[in-house]
Amino acid sequence: MNERLYCCVDGGASNTRVALYDDAGHRLGLTVTGPTSLTVRGTEAWGEILGALEQLARAVALDDAYLPHIHFGIGLAGANNNAQRQKFMAAAPEAGALRVSTDAYIAALGAHGGAPGAVIIVGTGSVGYRIEAAGRCRLVGGWGFPIGDEGSGAWIGRRAVAQVAQIVDTRFRKRVTEMHRAVMAQTGQSRDALLDWLLSAPPAQFAELAPLVVEHAGWGDTAALEIVSEAGREIDTLAEALDSARKIPLALVGGLAEPLDAFLPDRLRTWVRAPQEDPVSGALMLAQGRAPDETIMWQNR
């Protein structure tokens, strides 16, 4: 084996997409594995990535000595923490090459074909990201659960569970709806059951409740509508911080981007455009050296 192979990773807090490409950029396979967010997994994320890569390598009958030919392009949630990113890179296996960025960077690369533009990721967490013409990148949000991730799946789930806790305590001052009953079917309806659920609940577990809330909002459930409408406003706030003039190309990506579309403010829906390609395609640009190294400029203006 003499040719390069590209392992491209889009890693989040709930799941990770791993793709293998040949030297010509043709996709050989793609698989989905568990979470690789550095905030959640740290250097243990390598276990998920290498396990998925081994599965793909077996599927295309690579020999056992494939790692020296692998050029990694990896975008991970939590990689905006430089200390975590450096630890992750230091734990890397011997390979052909390694480039690591935030998941937001590869999402922006894919969404705009490597050209300047912005994205907002709305998945388990949320973050706003902009690639500027000079090649610099700006990031807003991305502070993680529980203090950040506004408008995300974890944020939506946390809002719903907080209301359920008040209902269990008989402190909820609004009407109990079908959404609340559906959430309680997942979390339990007593204090002990809810405490047990909370004790082992990472952000992804809260995010698993978000589709249920969005579904009930679509049915006109008042409590669900209130939560998802607030989520839409929070996403719009991220967009405003990226470009107050609302002129640069903007795409929404992530598992909740499409389900939440109907609940976004009109001024945001008219601005957003469909992404050109997915984040894995952005990871391929990274792996192939077709994108500059990520230089994050924290939003301070």
Beta strands in 70-147 (DSSP E): 70-76, 97-102, 117-122, 126-131, 137-141
pTM: predicted TM-score of the whole model, two decimal places: 0.85
Crossing angle for the helix pair 153-168 and 222-242, to the nearest 10 degrees: 140
- Average pLDDT value for residue range 226-235: 97
- At residue 78, the pLDDT reads 87
The architecture of the domain spanning 115-274 is 2-Layer Sandwich (3.30)
pLDDT, mean over the chain: 91
CATH of region 5-113+276-294: 3.30.420.40
Q: Which two tokens stand for residue 184?
A: 């309680």
If we measure between CA atoms, which residue out of 270, 232, 226, 276 comes closest to residue 253?
Answer: 276
For the chain, what are the domain ranges? Answer: 5-113+276-294, 115-274
pLDDT score at 70: 93
Per-residue pLDDT at 1 exceeds 80: no
User: Is 296's pLDDT higher than 70?
Assistant: no
pLDDT tens, residue by residue, 178-209: 999 999 999 999 999 999 999 988 888 999 99
CB 248 within 8 A of CB 116: yes
Check residue 297 and give its pLDDT: 56
- For 129, the token pair is 């990201």
Classify strands 27-33 and 117-122 as parallel, antiparallel or unpaired. Answer: unpaired
> Would strands 70-76 and 5-11 be described as parallel, antiparallel, or unpaired?
parallel
Do 5-113+276-294 and 115-274 have matching folds?
yes
Four-CA torsion 168, 171, 174, 176, nearest 10 degrees: 10
Over residues 73-84, mean pLDDT:
90
pLDDT, tens digit, for every residue of 114-139?
A: 899 999 999 988 999 999 876 678 88
